[in-house]
Structure 1
């Protein structure tokens, strides 16, 4: 279902985690990405990890699938979060592997829906729902948090201590919302200014030296504010 006519322009990201018998999948779709991870496990240890990139922003991104296997295959489910090596991986696949491991033994799927409005008068409204219920709302003015009051005056990059103080479920939602709000800034950057990977910091698989110099921008950019479909419409959580 598309957005209603009066919806403000915004970045949209949905994350769906689905546990099964001996497996758990985690999928993400937003303006720039559509990808998923499936962990195969014996209840204790990751036996195999599969990943699929339907839409990714750089020509080199698909190579990160092999790196993800090297990082997590054979790792205990309860040690996946602490495994590290995030910058050597596609950060999005890495995050999906982590959230999949956390929810591997859940009895039902979990769906997050994130909306980050484009800045209007310097203000952005950032919201995340968990299974249709509001989990967290951030109000940002001129790149500083106004709400919630506990995080007031901080930038998105300074929220680590506050996020760590939250309970487990709120912490997961806050981390997902913060990362999406950072990515959402891309909507305000002209494409020609974000299409030279050689200028990027080495903070993911594609942007590592020796790889970023040959990376080409290839992925289609979606605008789900006006799209007839919404992220992960092809995946239904039941």
Structure 2
């Protein structure tokens, strides 16, 4: 798993939790997607003709690197993909390193939502800070109803018992594709991605403003759009990009200015 031992520590880590909210809403032949969490904020609009994606527009609102807005262009390469009931079928047609990870996830979920009977679909993700070697709770709610509650420690499942020992990093897709299906699987993948991002709460991201992405090339090269060539050569950390939603989940998807306090 990625490490960032030279990042400045977050003095409040251990006292809060990571939160992410995703909202998908359909209006005619367009699905609007919204995502906001500690480190990111995006919107997208995916249009279709009932069979394939015909247009993708996106807004990159709050991001960790100044090169991230450029990811609004490569995501448009998904135009022409078929609508489907399982986004995992589309993964082979995508370029993970050439896209923003989180915008790509949002657009893929919007594509799948086009065929869902419900007009609106909301995921709420909450992951407690891990204290020492204690297991931390990870939860995802779908339209207000609990879908998954996991206990995990250092990227390994502790509970529920049926999933004990399964990994939450490399290897997750293999077992999760077998274990889950339908909306339950989509929620599991969304929770795993939240768990991945939640580790950023360990560090004081805002103290790194102006830091070049190149400083972490050995660990991060190729993991996403900004950490790939040529962006990694010029990317710098943005100011005031991280926010703490531990005790104010109602602010998620309000897309307030990141300098708001």
Other structure's SS at 1:86 match: coil
1:48-127 superposed matches below 5 A: 48-69=55-76, 71-78=77-84, 80-106=90-116, 107-122=118-133, 123-127=135-139
- The answer on whether the counterparts of 2:208 and 2:237 sit within 8 Å (CA) in structure 1 is no
| Structure 1 length-normalised TM | 0.87
- The answer on whether the counterparts of 2:78 and 2:94 sit within 8 Å (CA) in structure 1 is no
Distance 2:144 2:212 in 1: 37
Other structure's SS at 2:183 match: helix
Q: Evaluate the alpha carbon distance shift between residue 202 and residue 228 of structure 1 in structure 2; reply closer, same or farther with a 3 A threshold.
A: closer
Match of 2:3 in 1: none
Deviations 1:177-202 (A, max 9, x none): 00110110011134367954112221
| Structure 2 length-normalised TM | 0.80
Distance 2:107 2:249 in 1: 29
Residue 76 of structure 1: how far off its partner (Å):
2.1
- How many residue pairs end up in the alignment? 226
Match of 2:26 in 1: 19
Q: Which moved more, 1:159-168 or 1:192-201?
A: 192-201
Q: Evaluate the alpha carbon distance shift between residue 190 and residue 175 of structure 1 in structure 2; reply closer, same or farther with a 3 A threshold.
A: same
Match of 1:176 in 2: 190
Q: Which moved more, 1:105-114 or 1:29-38?
A: 105-114
Q: Which moved more, 1:51-60 or 1:101-110?
A: 101-110
Match of 1:33 in 2: 40
- The answer on whether the counterparts of 1:150 and 1:162 sit within 8 Å (CA) in structure 2 is no
Distance 2:27 2:104 in 1: 20
- The answer on whether the counterparts of 2:212 and 2:234 sit within 8 Å (CA) in structure 1 is no
Match of 1:151 in 2: 163
Residue 175 of structure 1: how far off its partner (Å):
0.3
Distance 1:82 1:125 in 2: 31
Other structure's SS at 2:148 match: strand
Distance 2:128 2:137 in 1: 5
Match of 1:4 in 2: none
Other structure's SS at 2:131 match: coil
Distance 1:171 1:54 in 2: 28
Q: Evaluate the alpha carbon distance shift between residue 125 and residue 99 of structure 1 in structure 2; reply closer, same or farther with a 3 A threshold.
A: same
